[in-house]
Amino acid sequence: MSSISNSNGPKKALDGVFRSMRIASSSLTAERTRIDTITKNIANARTTLVPGTGEPYRREDVSFAPIMERAAGGEDQFMGIRVEEILKDQSPFEEVFDPSHPDADERGVVLYPNVNAMKEMADLVTAVRSYEANLSVQETFERMADRALRLAE
Amino acid sequence: MVDGIGGSGAGRAAIEAALKQIRSQAQEMGAKAGGLEEAGASSEASKASFQSVLQEGIGTVEKGVEKTNNLHIDVLNGRLDIHEVAASLKESEITFQFALQVRNKLMDAYREVMRMSV
């Protein structure tokens, strides 16, 4: 999705100057993906049948991994983070006895997703806080650059 | 010495000595002028490299700002997040401010030279 913080592209001029800006940007993108996943979990909290799988919606979680780039000196340099993969939560589904439900099995039990709304809300709060923290980093960087340039006036 | 002009041999000798002195001084000046010319040539070379450096820098700044100008298409196509646009805008703003400061410094230096009384 991101085309700015794409670290696989050619080395851009002023890259070093805006490094912290780019790292924070990559983190923002990752947090956005996390928030999207949490949104999906909350939206699907009552989805009893996902077409094609034959089972209820399975809770998803994201894992992050650092982006390392081989620098000129031969050392790996941290360039930001990215979403490594979207994991499926393997915890058991919730069983509810409801024979009138169209997705009930022969015992009259309906399987509900393994999504806990409280947990998702807590995750959402931490994701939003991380997002805000990275935005603060960018704001601080901007102020720093601004002050540094004012020194030249 | 002036008394001796067109007069005695001693006076002529004095004139000749004075001329000799002037000639040697001229030679010395010429050598200095040559040196100055050489210095001028070398400053020409450094000027060229300075120019290329400046042009390269301006090119970099222009590219950065231009990249940001084309961002709105990516946003409308859903390829970019809002925060990335904001970050990119800020980046190009800072880059431009940097270029502006360099330009201001150059203009200051130019004005300083022009104000110099000859």
pLDDT by 10s per residue, chain B, length 118:
444 444 444 555 555 555 565 556 556 555 554 444 454 455 555 666 777 877 888 888 888 788 888 888 888 888 888 888 888 888 888 888 888 888 888 889 889 999 988 7
- How high is the pLDDT of residue A7? 42
Contact A24 B97 (CB under 8 A): no
The nearest CA of chain A is from the CA of B79 a distance in Å of 5
| In a domain? residue B29 | yes
Q: Are B96 and A146 in contact (CB under 8 A)?
A: no
Mutate to test the interface with B, among A4, A19, A27 (most CBs of B within 10 A): A4
Chain A residue with Cα closest to B62: A13
Q: Quick one: pLDDT at residue B7?
A: 44
For residue A22, the chain B residues in CB contact (below 8 A) are 87
Give the pLDDT of residue A123: 95
Q: Is residue B3 part of a domain?
A: no
Residues of B in contact with A1 (CB under 8 A): 79-81
The confidence score (pLDDT) of residue A57 equals 94
The predicted pLDDT at position B72 comes to 80
Q: What is the pLDDT of residue B42?
A: 52
ipTM surpassing 0.85: no
Let me know if residue B28 belongs to a domain.
yes
Mark yes or no for CB contact B80/A145 under 8 Å. no
Q: Where are the domains of chain A?
A: 3-152
Residue B89 lies in a domain: yes
- Domain of residue B55 covers 8-116
The total number of structural domains that make up chain B = 1
List of chain B residues whose C-beta atoms are within 8 Å of the C-beta of residue A153: 101, 104
pLDDT of residue B36: 46
- Asked if the Cβ–Cβ distance from B84 to A28 is below 8 Å, we say yes
pLDDT along chain A (153 residues), means of 10: 44 72 92 95 92 91 91 82 93 92 90 93 96 94 91 81
**Do A59 and A94 meet the contact criterion of CB atoms below 8 Å apart?**
no
pLDDT in the model for residue A147: 92
Is residue B98 situated within a structural domain? yes
Is B1 inside any structural domain? no
Confidence at residue A69, expressed as pLDDT on a 0 to 100 scale: 84
Characterize A63-100 residue by residue with b for buried, 16 or more Cβ atoms within 10 angstroms of its Cβ, and e for exposed.
ebeebeeeeeeeeeeebbbbbeeeeeeeeebeeeeeee
pLDDT at B70: 82
User: To 10 degrees, what angle do helices A117-150 and A19-43 make?
Assistant: 160
Contacts of A5 in chain B (CB under 8 A): 84
Secondary structure (H, E, C), chain B: CHHHCCCCHHHHHHHHHHHHHHHHHHHHHHHHHHHHHHHHHHHHHHHHHHHHHHHHHHHHHHHHHHHHHCHHHHHHCCCCCHHHHHHHHHHHHHHHHHHHHHHHHHHHHHHHHHHCCC
pLDDT score, position B49? 78
